[in-house]
Chains A and B, each alone.
Chain A
Amino acid sequence: MTGAALTKSADRPPLRVRLKLREIDGVTFLVLPAVLFVVLLFIYPFAYGLVLSFLPKKGGWLANYAKFFSDPFLYDTIWATFRLAIPATLINVLVSVPVALRVRRMRHRRALTTLLVIPITLGTVLIAQGLLIYLGPQGWFNRALALVGIGQVRLVHNYTGVMLSLIMSGFPFTFLLTLSYLTGIDPSLEQAASTLGAKARARFVHILLPLLAQGLAINMCLSFVQTFSVFPSAVLLGAPAGETRVISIAAYQAAYEQYDYSMASAVAMIMGFCQLAVVMLILAGRSFVYRGAVAGGKG
């Protein structure tokens, strides 16, 4: 910039106009509440927890992490959580695809989606309670089995109970998301494929699946993060001291049984890192699939 341009001259547009050219105007202030919200409720607590995790009650700054990874009672929780979260995510997302394929053609789609949203509104505790009663030793399910001469099946207070609850509460989410991705695909693409001789299976493999892939990846990320942080159902329906001792239970015990907030923060950070690693992995895989628009033309 030359010196002449810096001097205040009549040609120079007023500040308001110059800001406007950079898309900054009064409306820009409307993002402030959102920024404030993110800073106060996400960035600050996260940073606080991160710092806290490096200030252990005793030992060096990495003492909490060293303790976690040297005690199988603690580090086994990672495996226990993955053992639940990965199958639950895969089941939820993969099952949602065929169901959504069928449902998008249904006339009473709204009624069905409403029905599926109910488990979301109920919350995990109510679902857990219901499952405990229904599937428990004295529940309807086992009584019915007894009537037909099949013995007791143990479906609660173990891995199966938690898995069932994760599917019940997680499936509506993944289903609705898959359905919206699927209905976003221009139906004329499938019609075009069929006039070109593609049967239903070929249309799915060559047209729908590639266009759906990016949506399924996002869906998996969300579903995984949700199931990885499972807590109430792992306690209520699982074996919280045994096979479903998930990582959030370890964090809870550190915080509210041993009152070691620093250790609890470290566990939470490890949990966050695991989630982040899987999400990054899925997003990296996304680069192999088509990520553009899913409509057929300029329209």
Chain B
Amino acid sequence: MAIAGRDFRELRLDDMSRNFGTVNALKGVTLNVRRGEFIALLGPSGCGKSTALNCLAGLLTLSGGSIWLDQTRIDRLKPEERGFGMVFQNYALFPHMSVRKNIAFGLAMQGRPKAEIERKVDEALAIVRLSEQGHKLPGQLSGGQQQRVAIARAIVIEPPLVLMDEPLSNLDAKLRLEMRAEIRRIHDLIGSATIYVTHDQEEALSLADRIVVMRAGEVRQVGTPEELYGRPAHADVAEFMGYRNQLRVTAARTGTGVTIRVGNVTLTGTAVEPFVEGEAVAAIRPEDLGVSANGAIEATGESSQYHGDCFYSSGRTTDGADLFFRSDRRLNKGETVRLAADPARVLVYSGGRP
């Protein structure tokens, strides 16, 4: 019998909130998660994503709201009664136990028969490709291997839900890419739901089925990676998703698009509903803003960074706004360039900056 996450239909977070003294770390988070889904909680540090994860694990109690696994209310259960697997940021491997003992711990706590424990541990070790390392102590393993042990320990108890708290943040860049693929592979293999906390938008985009963007304890947007990358619902989400150019503009509807004015420059963009004419923020990704001979925006070059296939440059407009854009050569400081963007890739959000 292979390792497979315990069956359930739906995990429901209903208006989940948590206060620390007078600080509201989590303000009414509502979310439905289906079995087999990979959800990324994405947001800057202090946005409440780790608090949300700890509430789910039972390590923090809720100040309000509830958590339901199908028909069972679980938010009053202790962590040991929930049976969720959790992978900690620092792995939290038991330093005095061998890799095998670490992985067997959860099964031993459930009082499973010895033969079954041995078999499942073997299987979990095979899944994370560490069959040869079972006898070692965690301290004798590399960071990536420790990470695999932590994952094996969490999945071997066949949890309905696997919680991961920034599991890759302690690894170097190359290993991070490798483990990213591993985590998704293991998720698909065991079929439980995974909730993955990260502040790295690239990680969230590449791993998740759905991304939950959080800010200041609130859910700002829930959507597929494509939705979030292509059309963020709010200017602050856009900023977090890599729309680095955020211009204060005045906007007016014209036919299918919107005309925006920045100082003495007029551009065409796409409105993000709900849209009201007047003060607005135009968000453009650096990769969507390019040097073009007859571009509408004039800027003087500041600096360029080489990125292999192109340069990412920064410049300043005549109004003194900083812009980030693509260029196919290194710009000289003070050089004047003209910039243009596809109207479909200029997202206009009404209202000032939140």
Interfacial residues, chain A to chain B (CB-CB below 8 A): 186, 188-189, 191-199, 202, 206-207, 210-211, 290, 292-299
Give the CA-CA distance A206 to B101 in the complex, in Å. 11
A196-B80, A298-B91 are known contacts; what are 18 more A-B pairs with Cβ within 8 Å? A186-B92, A189-B92, A189-B94, A194-B58, A195-B59, A195-B82, A195-B86, A197-B106, A198-B105, A206-B94, A210-B96, A211-B95, A211-B96, A292-B139, A293-B95, A294-B95, A296-B88, A296-B91
Give chain B interface residues in 60-114, CB to chain A under 8 Å: 78-80, 82-86, 88, 90-96, 105-106, 109-110
Contact A297 B146 (CB under 8 A): yes
A206 proximity list for chain B (CB < 8 A): 94, 105
Q: A189-B94, A297-B91 are in contact. Are A195 and B57 (CB under 8 A)?
A: yes
B96 and A296 contacting across the interface, CB-CB below 8 Å: no
B170 at the interface (CB under 8 A from A): yes
Among A193, A195, A202, A298, which residue has its beta carbon within 8 angstroms of that of B94? A193
Min CB distance, B82 to chain A, in Å? Answer: 8
A222 to chain B, nearest CB (A): 23
B79 partner residues in chain A, CB cutoff 8 A: 191, 194-195
Report the bound CA distance from A239 to B84 in whole Å. 61
Q: Which residues of A contact B157 (CB under 8 A)?
A: 196-197
Complex-state Cα separation, A211 to B336, whole angstroms: 64
Residues of B within 8 A of A293 (CB): 95, 139
Q: Residue of B at shortest CB range from A200?
A: B80
Tell me if B110 and A192 are in contact (CB < 8 A): no
Most buried by A among B80, B106, B170: B80
Q: Which chain A residues border B96 with CB–CB below 8 Å? A: 210-211, 290, 292
Tell whether B217 is near chain A: CB-to-CB under 8 Å.
Answer: no
Contact of B84 with A297 in the complex, beta carbons under 8 Å: no
Q: Which residues of B contact A197 (CB under 8 A)?
A: 80, 83, 106, 109-110, 157
Which residues from B are CB-within-8-Å of A211?
95-96
Contact with A along B160-174 (1 / 0, CB 8 A): 000100000010000
Cα of A290 to Cα of B94 in the assembled complex, Å: 11
CB A209 to nearest CB in B, in angstroms, measures: 10
- Tell me how far the C-beta of A47 lies from the nearest C-beta in chain B, rounded to whole angstroms: 41
Interface residue B143 (Cβ < 8 Å from any Cβ of A)? yes
B90: chain A residues within 8 A (beta carbon) = 186, 188, 295-299
| A298 with B59: CB separation less than 8 A | no
Is B138 interfacial (CB 8 A cutoff)?
yes
CB distance from B102 to the nearest CB of A (A): 9
Given contacts A196-B157, A206-B105, contact A191 B59 (CB under 8 A): yes
B170 touches A202 (CB 8 A): no
Shortest C-beta distance, B61 to chain A (Å), equals: 13
Within 8 Å CB of A207, what residues of B? 94
Measured CA separation A192–B110 after assembly (Å): 15
Closest Cβ neighbor of B147 among chain A residues: A297
Q: Is B33 part of the contact surface with A, judged by Cβ < 8 Å? A: no
Interface hub of A196, A198, A206, A210 (most chain B Cβ within 10 A): A196
Give bound CA distance, A189 to B94, whole Å: 6
Considering residues B95, B110, B137, which has the most beta carbons from chain A within 10 angstroms of its beta carbon? B95
Which A residues are CB-close (under 8 A) to B345?
A: none
Q: Nearest 6 CB-CB pairs, A to B?
A: A290-B96, A196-B106, A297-B91, A296-B92, A192-B92, A197-B109
- Minimum CB–CB distance from B164 to chain A (whole Å) comes to 12
Chain B residues with CB under 8 Å of A210's CB are 96
Give every chain B residue within 8 A of A192 (Cβ-Cβ): 86, 88, 92-94, 153
Residue in chain B with minimal CB distance to A211: B96
Q: State the Cβ distance, A196 to closest chain B Cβ, in Å.
A: 4
Whether B109 lies near A196 (C-beta < 8 A) is yes
12 inter-chain pairs at a CB distance below 8 angstroms, sorted by A residue, are A188-B92, A192-B88, A194-B59, A195-B86, A196-B106, A206-B105, A211-B96, A296-B88, A296-B92, A297-B90, A297-B143, A298-B90
A120: shortest Cβ distance to chain B, in Å?
A: 32
Question: In the complex, which residue of chain A has the Cβ closest to the Cβ of B89?
Answer: A188
Q: Which residues from A are CB-within-8-Å of B92?
A: 186, 188-189, 191-192, 296-297
